[in-house]
Chain A
Amino acid sequence: MNLRALFLTLLLAAPAAIAADAPPAAFNSNFVQTRTLPGFDAPLTSRGNMRYDKVHGFHWEITAPYHYVFEMNGQTALEELPDGTKRDLDPDQNPWLVAVEHIFISALSGDRTELMAYFDIHIEPLPEGQSVTLKPKPGAIAKAIESIHVTESAPGQPERIEIAETSGGRMDIRFTPAAP
């Protein structure tokens, strides 16, 4: 599995897939993303907004320290780079897009099958929502990822995603509901 597809799968599909009973039809959250990289003391922090609905698809926008947009709807995807350049991601040249889109839609409809093909899933109920740990099954993903931990603030609403990489790096994304 391609690492690009892998990352998007982890980031997007995991929180939604666990909420099989009540998958969200739409969500809109601000986030703070912190990356700790091996060999560097100071973490890198970026802020932005993530939203999804069935009409407009998925929207990921970094607002600081630079501006970047990633949008995906159906089998098409678009990037807007910090210098304002827009870049279409052609499904023919980026076959992972099709797979990612499928995984994403499946996960949102409460289907964990795709995720279970690649991860062992451990779920712990919380007073509000659940805590989910994904451990990669042996294969390409396990070479890059040690574990993914997702904490919900409410069913289907991720509050925090922590990703531990085999390289020693870590990623921590915290979500807060955006104003409607």
Chain B
Amino acid sequence: MRLPAAARWTIWLASLGLVCGLAWTRLDLKNPVDTDILAMLPAEQDSGALAEATARSREAFVDEVLILVSGGDDPATRAAAEAAGQAAATDGLKTDSTGESLDRLLQVYEQHHYALLDEAAVARLQKGGATALATDVAVSLGSPTGMVDAFGNDPGGHLTRFLSSLPRPYPQFLPDGPFLSALKEGKRWYLLRTELTGGAFATTGSSQAAQAVRDARAAVQRACPGCAFAATGAPLFAEVARHEGQVESEWLTLASTLLIMVLIAWVFRSFAPHVLAGLQLVASVLAATAAVIICFGSIQVLTLVFGTTLLGIAIDYAFLYFAEYWFGGSAPAEVPRAVRPGLYMGLLTGVLAFSFLLLAGFPALTQFAVFSVAGLVEAGLLVALIFPVTLTRFPEVPVHAAVLWPQRFIQAACRAHWRRAVLPIVALLLAVPGWLRLHTSDDVRELQSFPPELLETDAHIREVLAQVPPPGFFLIEGKDLSDALGRETRLFALLHGTVPGAVPLGLSRFLPSPTQQEASLATWQQLFADPAALRSAYVRFGLPAKFADRTAADWRAASHAPLDPGALFAAAPDLKRFVIPAPGGVALLATVTGKADIDTALLNRATAAVPGTTFVVPLARIADTFRRTRLRATWLVIAGYLLISALLLWRYGRREAPRMLYPPLLALGVTLGVLGWLGEPVNIFVVVALILILGLGRDYAVFLREGGAGQRSPALAVTLSALTMLCSFGLLALSRIPVLHVFGLATLVGILASYLSAPLSLAPVRRNRP
């Protein structure tokens, strides 16, 4: 059925408009381009508690921005730090309210101080009785470290000792008004802890953080030109990732588009291919982006960068049509019929190959698959609907050398010659040592690339703060909070003895277990049960008996209730982050920091000794997920290849189909060999590249087979396709993002090998044959 031009345009525009309109309704306007790489990872099949702990441990740092101001002149440096804080707050960064929380916490601890004796103090007071308490009181009075207000309500400084042992975020930095400050290397350092109110990986959030840091830096320079300024935090890294991704995407798109335009101008010497190719590329990327937004609400920056490569694939169909129209010899009205088998087979195998990625169970690959399938379908639709009604006149471009060269190459490569058999074998033999050198990599950090100066600043700040980010977190499970707190206390005690330099952080350091609190209260009860003994002990240390009476009176007036978690959380809501409801009990989230990297083997050994505790390293778990996904994707590639092989067998028969399947496999072998020789890793994205190589190899075989051996237009279409793909992927190999670089490199080599081996898919032709 031949549709009129108006109907074709209507169908095409309506379909594209519908997809875009639907995407608009689903678009997350606050976060259209997502830079959160971790969101692209597969959901872990974890227990609810582990999944929640993973999310919370991540939330604890993703919104934080640390600002460090330093200088030799203390008042000027402080003024500069204050200016930085004001600038950051003006730009919407929330400053840390630790000081207020601390005041509230101190009040709660003061009310319940009789419940806060630690295990050692309980043992000491139970053993020594009134004499031990009198000793503590005397020491509090006489020690230069004793409390000023020793006789307020803390006889013996037991509460002070508890408060002293509370965790501090950066041990060398002391609370100092709105800052934490330290004197190091002859300079005063002010640390300002701020956090984003929106998500760090939302475009607005990361941009807001970056702007706030720029303004804070300017404010510091104005207030104190001699002061130094440094800032770090996940939002700043996210902003750089977003910016790098966009810049790369823009220049890759621009460069590949320009190269393709030059190629078109050189070959077709007409304006129409530029317009139609441009229209096809824009429509393909638009439809692909819209499809991703419909499915996911926003588009990942990695998908956007990866999508630029679609430019190379989508234009294949246009080239197939252009080559037949301009130089194929068919009348314009006959061109659609001539290219239809190749176009449909190419589209079908391409869509099939990418559809298999949907089964990989990996959100990143799912987005790539949706993007690619939608882009290819749109490209095919445009060629099938619009090209026939726009390219209706006979072309007037004479056949020239650039057109004849591909045909000659294909014809020469199809001649029966020993080289047809030997060269591929030589290539494979050369590839074998490369295969033996291949190694895999599933490191999530290769998904992003950050400027060295940003990494150096981060390392410098961590060095000044004398704190290395924790390698992971502990999950402590118990049948109730008391049980879990007890286990955490045992774990921390074990760490203290076995892991030098480790500073554990968990709820038990703020809230002793109910058992411990009961022991503490019972100890005090026992001490104050015999006032006469207490008086006598005080007097022996030169203390008035009245002091003993006052201490006992304070005990009688004080609350004897243990510190309730609810009261603690009301004073410091952030502490609730440590508690995770779990089926059949409760789980506690805890972590450990140190001045240097901590050996996770030691931490695992400690958890092995305390039942119900595990140490979780998220990066290792992600790498494991990547590995599993890579293996699954590899099997899917094989399954997809077998399915398409069956399709080719059905279409071309048992004699021709194996010959058509041979070149793509050869290209794949050569690609892996080159990667091995170059020491590049095989990761999940290389597997995607292999899918692409197999798909393109098949396309070339199908185009040449359907177009006829030695014919001018399929040879030209395949050559142009290979050249444009080389332009796109060759550029991608220059990417600073490690995974994109290796993806581009693999595809570059694979396409070159696919093109050079494509003639092997055709039957050999003898020279003297007519």
Contacts and interface: CB of A to CB of B under 8 A. Distances in A.
A25 interface: no
Contacts of B496: 92
Interface in B138-185: 138-139, 141-149, 151-152, 157, 160, 163-165, 168, 171-172, 174-177, 181, 183
B651 interface: no
A169 B42 CA distance: 63
Contacts of A60: 143-144
Interface string A26-47: 0000000101010110101010
Nearest to A12: B144
Interface stretch (A14-22, A96-104, A119-127, A149-157): A96-104
Contacts of B139: 68, 79, 81-82
Interface string B515-553: 000000000000000000000000001111011001000
B147 A117 contact: no
A139 interface: yes
Nearest to B152: A167
A116 B74 contact: yes
Contact of A70 (B145, B171, B546): B145
A113 B546 CA distance: 42
A132 to B, nearest CB: 18
A99 B173 CA distance: 8
A50 B550 CA distance: 31
Interface residues on A, range: 35 or more
A134 interface: no
A59 B183 CA distance: 24
Contact of A44 (B132, B188, B542): B542
Given A44-B542, A113-B188, A99 B147 contact: no
A42 to B, nearest CB: 6
Contacts of B157: 4
Contacts of A3: 147-149, 160
Given A46-B142, A92-B503, A145 B148 contact: yes
Given A92-B496, A163-B148, A169-B149, A114 B164 contact: no
A152 B656 CA distance: 105
A179 interface: no
Contact of A95 (B149, B164, B550): B164
Contacts of A169: 148-149, 151
B497 to A, nearest CB: 11
Contacts of B171: 95, 98
A82 B143 CA distance: 11
Contact of A117 (B74, B131, B163): B74
A7 B543 contact: no
Contact of B176 (A77, A79, A98, A117): A117
B253 to A, nearest CB: 53
A2 B144 contact: no
A165 B164 CA distance: 21
A158 B313 CA distance: 85
A7 B541 contact: no
A66 B148 contact: no
A8 B144 contact: yes
B138 A68 contact: yes
A44 B150 CA distance: 13
B611 interface: no
The residue among A46, A95, A102, A116 with the most chain B CB atoms within 10 A of its own CB is: A95
Given A37-B151, A99-B172, A140-B175, A62 B135 contact: no
B128 A66 contact: no
B131 A165 contact: no
Given A40-B544, A83-B128, A140-B175, A7 B135 contact: no
A170 B168 CA distance: 31
Interface in B172-213: 172, 174-177, 181, 183, 188
Given A82-B541, A117-B181, A165-B148, A66 B172 contact: no
A156 to B, nearest CB: 18
A144 B151 CA distance: 13
A147 interface: no
Nearest to A90: B496
Nearest to A167: B149
A43 to B, nearest CB: 10
A65 interface: yes
A106 interface: yes
Contacts of A7: 144-148
A139 B546 contact: no
Contacts of B175: 1, 140
Contacts of A98: 171-172
Contacts of A11: 144
A93 B165 contact: yes
Contact of A113 (B128, B138, B142, B183): B183
Nearest to B136: A81
A94 interface: yes
B149 A165 contact: yes
A48 B145 CA distance: 15
Contacts of B174: 1, 5, 99
Nearest to B138: A66
Contacts of B542: 44, 46, 64-66
Interface of B: 74, 128, 131-132, 135, 138-139, 141-149, 151-152, 157, 160, 163-165, 168, 171-172, 174-177, 181, 183, 188, 496, 503, 541-544, 546-547, 550
Ranked 8 nearest A-B pairs via Cβ: A65-B542, A62-B142, A95-B171, A4-B145, A60-B144, A68-B142, A144-B148, A11-B144
Given A4-B145, A6-B148, A35-B141, 19 more contacts: A1-B176, A3-B149, A4-B146, A7-B146, A8-B144, A11-B144, A12-B144, A44-B542, A46-B141, A62-B142, A65-B541, A66-B542, A79-B143, A93-B165, A95-B168, A98-B172, A140-B175, A144-B148, A165-B148
